[in-house]
């Protein structure tokens, strides 16, 4: 015999209340919607001129493979020591993790902050494309460059720093920096030295060095 309409509605309501109770207990207990899935971290191992890029899974050795219910990753040089650190936001506790990069010093970097003209380009220069061209060896078949785009968001309720951080490895000499601003104009900056921070203002053609002291942590 089928249930009448009233009994059917009551049964559905009871099931809904039971499901909400289970969900509430799971959230209060800090359990993840992803089960036991851990964070993953991959290292770009680089590539030769004629080979495709490769990545290595270093989740465990990096210390990032927490079983957290992660939601977003924010990249920034938090301690101003020239390498990129990481903030991770989670749905469960701890809500925030700071993963400070304590890799041995020795490689070179370049940090750039862009400023649009506020007329044809937004002041934060969101959407700009930056190429850092480094001095190549005579044996290289092509000019070496690193490319980044300035974005406004990085994940759920998160945004990385507006500083564009370029890891240069063992390369120290920089030939030029080329910026394609959001309005389509292309501007070139020279006289830039590695291991420093610069502000690039649209239309100035000049890279202005910024001195930022290291943060005590």
**For residues 67 and 36, is the Cβ–Cβ distance under 8 A?**
yes
- At 184 the pLDDT is 97
Q: Is residue 36 part of a domain?
A: no
- At 32 the pLDDT is 67
Q: Is residue 215 part of a domain?
A: no
- At 25 the pLDDT is 80
Q: How many domains in the chain?
A: 3
- At 135 the pLDDT is 77
* 96, β-bridge pairs: 89
Quick one: 55 and 147 in the same domain?
no
Please give the Cα distance from 85 to 75 (Å, whole number): 6
- The CATH code of the domain that includes 159 is 2.60.40.2630
Quick one: 91 and 158 in the same domain?
no
Quick one: 157 and 118 in the same domain?
yes
- At 13 the pLDDT is 52
Please give the Cα distance from 85 to 97 (Å, whole number): 11
pLDDT tens over the chain, length 217 residues: 444 554 555 554 555 566 788 777 877 776 666 667 889 999 888 765 555 668 999 999 999 999 888 889 999 999 999 999 999 998 877 889 999 998 888 899 999 999 999 999 999 999 999 999 997 655 555 668 899 999 987 778 888 899 999 999 888 899 999 999 999 999 999 999 999 999 999 999 999 999 988 777 6
Quick one: 26 and 88 in the same domain?
no
């Amino acid at each position: 015999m089928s249930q009448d309409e009233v009994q059917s509605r009551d049964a559905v309501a009871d099931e809904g209340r039971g499901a909400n109770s289970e969900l509430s207990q799971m959230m209060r207990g800090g359990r993840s919607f992803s089960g036991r899935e851990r964070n993953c971290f991959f290292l770009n191992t680089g590539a030769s001129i004629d080979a495709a890029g490769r990545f290595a899974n270093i989740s465990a050795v990096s210390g990032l493979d927490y079983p957290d219910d992660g939601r977003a990753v924010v990249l920034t040089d938090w301690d101003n020591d020239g390498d990129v650190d990481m903030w991770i936001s989670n749905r469960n506790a701890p809500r925030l993790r700071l993963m400070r990069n304590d890799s041995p010093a020795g490689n070179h970097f370049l940090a750039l902050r862009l400023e649009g003209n506020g007329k044809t380009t937004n002041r934060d220069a969101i959407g700009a494309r930056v190429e850092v061209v480094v001095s190549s060896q005579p044996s290289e078949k092509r000019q070496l460059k690193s490319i980044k785009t300035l974005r406004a968001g990085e994940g759920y309720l998160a945004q990385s720093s507006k500083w564009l951080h370029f890891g240069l490895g063992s390369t120290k000499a920089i030939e030029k920096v080329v910026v394609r601003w959001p309005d389509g104009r292309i501007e070139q900056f020279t006289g830039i030295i590695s291991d420093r921070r610069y502000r690039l203002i649209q239309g100035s053609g000049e890279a202005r060095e910024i001195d930022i002291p290291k943060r005590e942590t």
